[in-house]
């Protein structure tokens, strides 16, 4: 009986090792290095470099490091954890939806409205985190490559949606680049 128990434990151990390796809970601090884009005006478009502000720093946090109250509120909006594993090219590709969330450092971490949902993807470990901002501008994407430590963030702006004769013809398009490092506050 002791041998059978030992065999079962040894057989199940690699399954738990793989899940622990995949379900990283590392929080990240993401700092902007470069910011540029296009200001849209009625008389044309102006391309330029934008000043980096203190608001251009972000926190990526695993749901286990966010207050339970905030996670419960986020789940009430439909942001429940979803894990999907599928075979791809003979390996298991995993997609975790809503395991990570992102916020600007200037936003209050105790408010659910400060956080936006992310999708983590990869084979043996998280390779990319992609986050979508439903607030401010309609098309904002934050993409972080865990192995390089680099991120790119794009706001498409609203030039394509704007109608009428306002002094500004839509919200500007902004492209931001920077780096993320593990961070524990």
Q: Pick from 174, 95, 83, 170: which is nearest to 133 by CA?
A: 174
Structure-model confidence comparison of residues 22 and 98, the more confident one: 98
Q: Report the distance separating Cα 15 and Cα 11, nearest Å.
A: 8
Q: List the domain range (segments joined by +) for residue 32.
A: 26-182
pLDDT tens column, 114-171: 998 888 888 767 788 888 775 554 578 899 998 899 999 998 877 776 655 544 556 7
Highest mean pLDDT among 37-41, 73-77, 104-108, 153-157: 104-108
Question: For a pLDDT cut of 70, what percent of the chain falls above it?
Answer: 78
Asked, for residue 134, whether it belongs to a domain, the answer is yes
Give the predicted TM-score (pTM) of the model. Answer: 0.77
Distances 74 to 102, 104, 185 between C-alpha atoms, Å = 12, 17, 22
φ, ψ at 102 (rounded to 5°): -130, 150
Number of domains in the chain: 1
Strand partners, 46: 39
Asked, for residue 16, whether it belongs to a domain, the answer is no
pLDDT tens column, 40-71: 777 778 899 999 998 899 999 998 899 999 99
């Amino acid at each position: 009986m002791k041998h059978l128990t030992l065999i079962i434990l040894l057989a199940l151990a690699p399954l738990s090792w793989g899940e622990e390796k995949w379900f990283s809970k590392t929080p990240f601090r993401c700092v902007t290095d470069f910011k540029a884009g296009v200001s849209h005006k009625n008389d044309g478009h102006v391309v330029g470099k934008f000043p980096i502000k203190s608001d251009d720093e972000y926190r990526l946090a695993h749901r286990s490091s966010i207050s339970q109250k905030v996670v419960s509120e986020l789940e009430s909006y439909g942001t429940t954890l979803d894990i999907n594993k599928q075979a791809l090219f003979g390996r298991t590709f995993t997609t975790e939806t809503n395991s990570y969330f992102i916020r600007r450092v200037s936003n209050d971490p105790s408010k659910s409205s400060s956080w936006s949902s992310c999708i983590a993807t990869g084979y043996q470990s998280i390779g990319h985190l992609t986050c979508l901002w439903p607030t401010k501008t309609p098309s904002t994407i934050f993409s972080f490559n865990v192995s390089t430590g680099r991120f790119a963030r794009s706001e498409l702006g609203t030039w394509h949606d704007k109608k009428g004769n306002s002094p500004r013809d839509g919200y500007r398009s902004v492209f931001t680049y920077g780096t993320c490092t593990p961070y524990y506050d």
